[in-house]
Structure 1
Amino acid sequence: MPSPIVEHPASRGAEPRLDGLAPAAMAHLQAAAHAIRDGAEDTARQALDAALALAPAHPELLRMLGILHARAQRHDEACAALQQAVAQWPDYALAHADLGNAQLAAGETAAAFASWQRACALAPRAPMPWFNLGRNLQLQGDTAAAIEALEQAHALAPDFLPALILLSDALVHAGRFDEAGTRYRAALALHPACGDAWRGLANIKTRPLPDADRERLATALRQPGLHATDRIAMGFALGKVCEDQGRYEQAFAALSQANAELRQLHPWNAGAFRAHAEAIAAASARLPPPANPQLGREVIFIVGLPRSGSTLFEQILAAHPEVEGASELPELEQVLGEESARRRQPLPQWIAAATADDWQRLGRRYLALTARWRRHKPRHTDKLPSNWLLAGVLGAMLPGARIVDARRDALEAGWSCYKQQFYRLPHFACTLTDIAAYIRDYERIMDAWQAAKPQRIRTQRYEALLADPEREIRALLAFCSLPFDSACLDYHHAKRSVRTASAAQVRQPLQRDTARASRYGALLDPLRFGLGLPTIG
């Protein structure tokens, strides 16, 4: 990090940054700020135009104009306005921080981090630049650097909950569970109904929550006026603590209530999803032969149902000296989303029209965006479970890539999904019947792809790994064209950031007693029925 630089007065507070603005211009600026907050873009632009007419090129007005453009997704215009602001006041920390946000949205990642680091250097005693830097380092997967920045933000603003929660999350990802637990507890001391803190504690899955937590959660959930997101997160945490204590009916009741509230906020449409999945599969059935069959051989995709062992399989592969574990990457969706925007058509409508050259261009774009994961090792994993939807597309876009389909007993996996709070919403896991429908769709489509393309898609079964770890690990490595390495047998010793809900579980040896569904008896009959399994009740 650069050494601190003397601050411009504008970086220290609300008043100095308004220097040089006449009262009329300040009134327009305040009106613009309120309009941006309320989402009234036209009103905000009129107010800013009026202010700029009175004070052309004033940095604070340009900063606000950049924020307005950013809110409207006009990223290039946002960057231009904010660059003008920092050109006027080169040591305006707040403008550098906002410029970093705009640059990241415009795809200028390196420039964005340079701007955030500049903001931290200009205002080293201000918590927000450190928080902004740490949050984005964490999103980029640089957990160690994120922890350093977030520790700075927390030290400067001990009562700022977002920094404390993100710091706790980053510590979990780094495997520092005792420290993370302490930080989550500190957040609860500030705000006993902090859903994110309860969510974090519940996600350290190898550590049972004590009975005192069950009582605290039950008491907190009875309080009126709770924010829905806090109440939902606490409901999932209550489900975990009840299961930890063998209170299975209470656990099921708490999880059912939390899932019902989550589904009410973001309803899932199983029929619409099935139609979407089948449209993608049908459009992907007859794609042109790839121009370069080896394109993408650097990548190992791990797909499947969440909570089916995908993080475990990634941890095994990441223990290999040739593989970097990159976790759940957004770049594949980003590249296809960019192409959909360019064509002005949703993905299923343009898949069949894309040429071999189009797919090669998109594959190279993905490889360019993910190049940072191959700086130290030649290959990387991409473990976003929902990428199973794109198994056919990947055959044309990255034909050299390998796809590992993580499979676990459907009843156990489905129940595990029901217990987990997901943040990509709407989500299929809020009802047992929707879970069953999703599993049927996923297995039907992936079974067809695997039968058609066994050389690039492997069905890797969790239970088979438990039964004979060395045999399965050798077969997995061979499928990925990797030489056997004994480090993969001791995967739990691998030093890496694990940014999923399984962060604690994959840092211990294989556990053979992970089945839980049988303890809930007939309560899971809707899931059994949907999966075509015998019911109990």
Structure 2
Amino acid sequence: MTGAATPPDQDPRMRGLPASALPHMHAAARAIRDGAPARAEQLLTAVLAGTPDHPEALRLFGILRNRQQRFAEAARFLEQTLQQRPDDTAALSDMASALYGLERKSEAFEHWREACRLRPDFALGWFNLGRNLQQEGITGEAVDALREAVRLAPDMLPAHVLLGDALVHLGRFDEADASYRAALKLHPANGDAWRGLSNMKTRPLSEDDAARLQEALEHPAARPPDRIAMRHALGKLHEDRGRHAEAFDAIARANRESQSLAAWNRDAFHRLVEAVAAQDARLAGDGDTERGREAIFIVGMPRAGSTLVEQMLAAHPQVEGASELPDLGVVLAAETARRKKPFPAWLGEADADDWARLGHDYLQRTARWRSERPRHTDKMPENWLYTGLLRAMLPGAIVIDARRDALETGWSCFKQQFYRLPHFSNDLHDLAAYLRDYERSMDAWRAREPERVVLQCYEDLLADPDTQIRALLDACGLPFDDACLHFHKVRRSVRTASAAQVRQPLQRDTARAERYGSALDPLRHALADPDNR
């Protein structure tokens, strides 16, 4: 590539590039932003052909590889940038993203913190630090970083929303409310902000909010995800005011729109459940009943009381409440990739040494949750699918099946927005099929190992909390502690939609489904049909 040198008044990051390369660099940045990786790669390759090892071109290549989740390659490009520009705060932040993707999380946070130290006015650096601290459950420090991002860049919409989320998780609801409403001042149709306000379930939205929601639904900048979130929020508002027909209509419309974006395949999921169950009989454990004793898995359907169970256990001085951890799924996905064979086809091929290795991988990944207390909870509801294979992987672990009345669970899931699509909760028949697959599987695993797989019914917990909490602690091998009866006083980060509810004493009047009458008949009938799939 030839041309005159970069003019001195141009972006200093481009210094050393010929002027003819500048359009290529700007076009590559736009291509990365717009999701056109092939075009970006072509442009950057051309730039580096004429100016090998230029640090900014290498950095853009690193960003491209991060977007493609090719993190090892991203790290190599960004390392070359940092060798030339060790104090480049943007490159440090980009390198942190690559390291985080490579599971080198402590190094990633060192890079994010260094970027903020070198350039305290770098709002995006503080945002990236706060966002990833929040992702790791380091919520207090995340709030501090996100507050700094908002202070430096008051118009950074995602920072206001994420700050609101972090404050909710800490139980600081007045501050969270203010943060979400600051986001709505910037963008009245921001679905994430409305979702955050609505998910503070103990703080109903106002009639003024209802009017603003209706206006926001017509806003020209409202995208489908925004409208879905706003319709869920509107449904919650109507339910709080006893307007059940309007509530059902808003929630059903939200779910239809979600379903149109990505439809759940209940038959494929049923085949997966059946395949996992078929492989379970072939698992080769080593009988080490101590491995995994540190872990207490809380599984089941969303909105069935699992956060409440975790909050009660987290009040115990021996238990750290870690919330919804992705680690078990990550360990199994990595093994699936290593074997180059789809899950669950390889399960029966794994020997006792393999399962011990995978169990130790999980325990190593989650070790930070046991730095102050010897045991931790893992409250990822969907881990119920792995209950059988945990017998070989972590035979000492307790699995608690948090279960609630099926109709109440189904309705509560239907009205809760879930961000991962496709999702079973967007259709009442899909929801019933998923719920029955879960119940049949857990019943079979509990019948096989009743001391290791423990049923905890939500309604029983509400009716007699003292007896139920004592039995729960005994099942987990924990001595009784009176603090568990006063779980709502526990100060911890709760990173689920029940963050507000579990900070209150038990509310016994939680049933809502019957108020919807015949509107829920499709769910009732699907739940009653054993062949519904």
Counterpart position of 2:515: 519
Structure 2 residue 226 is matched with structure 1 residue 204: no
1:149 aligns with 2:145: yes
Per the TM alignment, residue 147 of structure 1 is displaced from its structure 2 partner at its CA by 0.0
User: Aligned partner of 1:485: which letter?
Assistant: D
Tell me the CA shift for residue 170 of structure 1: 0.3
RMSD: 1.5
Displacement after TM superposition at 1:187 (Å): 1.4
Q: Partner of 1:4 in structure 2?
A: none
Distance 1:14 1:115, change over 3 A: farther
What is the match of residue 3 of structure 2?
none
Q: Which residue is equivalent to 2:136?
A: 140
Render the CA deviation track for 1:122-179: whole Å, top value 9, x for unaligned. Answer: 2211210000000000000000000000000000111111000000000000000011
Please tell me whether the aligned partners of residues 97 and 108 of structure 2 are also in contact (alpha carbons under 8 angstroms): yes
Q: How does 1:392-403 map to 2 (within 5 A)?
A: 392-403=388-399
Q: Please tell me whether residue 104 in structure 1 is matched to residue 100 in structure 2.
A: yes
Paired with 2:31 and 2:186, the residues of 1 have a C-alpha distance of: 32
Alpha-carbon distance in structure 2 between the residues aligned to 1:306 and 1:521? 22
Task: Choose the corresponding residue for 1:473, options 469, 474, 484.
Answer: 469
- Within the candidate set 382, 386, 404, 2:378 is matched to 382
Does the CA contact (< 8 Å) of 2:285 and 2:351 recur in 1?
A: no
Q: TM-score, normalised by structure 1?
A: 0.95
Paired residue for 1:48? 44
Q: Residue 447 of structure 1 aligns to which amino acid in structure 2?
A: D
Alignment equivalent of 1:67, drawn from 63, 68, 78? 63
Task: Give the CA deviation at 1:20.
Answer: 1.6
Determine the C-alpha separation between the residues in 2 that align with 1:183 and 1:27.
39
Q: Deviations over 1:61-107 (max 9, x none)?
A: 21112123223332222112111211111111000000000000111
Residue of 275, 292, 296 corresponding to 2:288? 292
Partner of 1:3: none
Task: Please state whether the residue corresponding to 2:492 is helix, strand or coil.
Answer: coil
Please say if 1:172 is aligned against 2:168.
yes
Shift of 1:38: 4.6
Distance 1:206 1:137 in 2: 26
1:305 and 2:301 matched: yes
- The residue type paired with residue 474 of structure 1 is R
Asked whether the equivalents of residues 191 and 225 of structure 2 are also in contact (C-alpha less than 8 Å), the reply is: yes
Matching of residue 28 in structure 1 with residue 5 in structure 2: no
Q: Is there any run of 5+ residues in structure 1 with no aligned partner, and where?
A: 1-12
Residues 234-279 of structure 1 show CA distances to partners (whole Å, capped at 9, x for unaligned) of: 1000000000111010001101101110111111111111111111
Residue of structure 2 equivalent to 1:410: 406
Give the Å deviation of 1:367: 0.8
What is residue 5 of structure 2 aligned with on the other side? none
Alpha-carbon distance in structure 1 between the residues aligned to 2:166 and 2:438:
31
Give 1:352's aligned residue.
Answer: 348
For 1:291 and 1:128, locate their aligned partners in 2 and report how far apart those are by CA, in whole Å.
Answer: 50
Offset of residue 55 of structure 1: 2.5
Residue aligned with 1:470, SS: helix
Give the Å deviation of 1:42.
4.4
Q: Does 1:487 align with 2:483?
A: yes
- Aligned partners of 1:290, 1:71: CA distance in 2, in Å? 41
1:319, distance to aligned residue in structure 2 (A): 0.4
CA drift of 1:39 comes to 4.3
Question: For this pair of structures, how many residues does the alignment match?
Answer: 521
Quote the residue 2:457 is aligned against: 461
Which contiguous aligned blocks of 4+ residues in structure 1 show a shift greater than 6 angstroms? none
Q: 1:284, CA displacement in angstroms?
A: 1.4
**Alpha-carbon deviation of 1:58?**
2.1
Give the superposition deviation at 1:59. 1.5
Alignment correspondent of 1:86? 82
Which residue, 514, 528, 532 being the options, matches 1:532? Answer: 528
Superposed CA offset, 1:186-242 (max 9, x none): 211221111111100110001111112122212322445521011110100000000
- The residue correspondences of 1:336-375 to structure 2 (distance < 5 A) are 336-375=332-371
Per the alignment, residue 113 of structure 2 pairs with 117
% identical equivalent positions: 59
Matched, 1:323 2:319: yes
**Residue type matched to 2:353 in 1?**
D
Q: How does 1:221-300 map to 2 (within 5 A)?
A: 221-224=217-220, 226-290=222-286, 292-300=288-296
The corresponding residue for 2:425 is 429
CA distance in 1, matches of 2:10, 2:75: 22
- Using the alignment, how far apart are the partners of 1:14 and 1:145 within structure 2? 37
- TM-score (ref. length: structure 2): 0.95
Native 8 Å contact 2:232 2:251 kept in 1:
yes
Give the whole-Å Cα distance in 2 for the aligned partners of 1:17 and 1:221: 42
2:93 partner amino acid: A
Which whole-Å CA distance do the structure 1 matches of 2:363 and 2:523 have between them? 39
1:510 to 501, 506, 523: 506
Deviation at 1:383, TM superposition (A): 0.3
Structure 2 residue 409 is matched with structure 1 residue 441: no
Question: 1:408 and 1:68, CA in 2 relative to 1: closer, same or farther beyond 3 A?
Answer: same
- Give a deviation string over 1:335-379, Cα, whole Å, max 9, x none: 000011111111111011111111111111111111111111111
- Residue 30 and residue 223 in structure 1: after superposition, are their counterparts in 2 closer, same or farther (change >3 A)? closer
3-state secondary structure, aligned to 1:349: coil
1:214 corresponds to which of 186, 210, 216: 210
More deviation, 341-350/91-100:
341-350
Mean Cα deviation higher: 392-401 or 278-287: 278-287
Q: What's the offset of the Cα at 1:460?
A: 0.3
- Deviation for aligned residue 1:475: 0.7
Distance verdict in 2 for CA 1:243–1:43, change over 3 Å: closer
Residues 18-68 of structure 1 deviation map (CA, whole Å, 9 limit, x = unaligned): 112111333432343344345444443343233223333221121112123
Q: CA deviation at 1:303?
A: 0.2
Matched residue, 1:187: 183
Distance change (3 Å), C-alpha of 1:71 and 1:217: closer
- Alignment check: 8 A CA contact 2:287 2:395 kept: no
Secondary structure of the 1:348 match is coil
DSSP 3-state at the match of 1:287: coil
Q: Aligned with 2:454: secondary structure?
A: strand
Deviations 1:487-535 (A, max 9, x none): 00000011100000000000000000001111111111111111119xx
Change (3 A) 1:515 1:40: closer
CA contact (8 A) 1:326 1:382 kept: yes
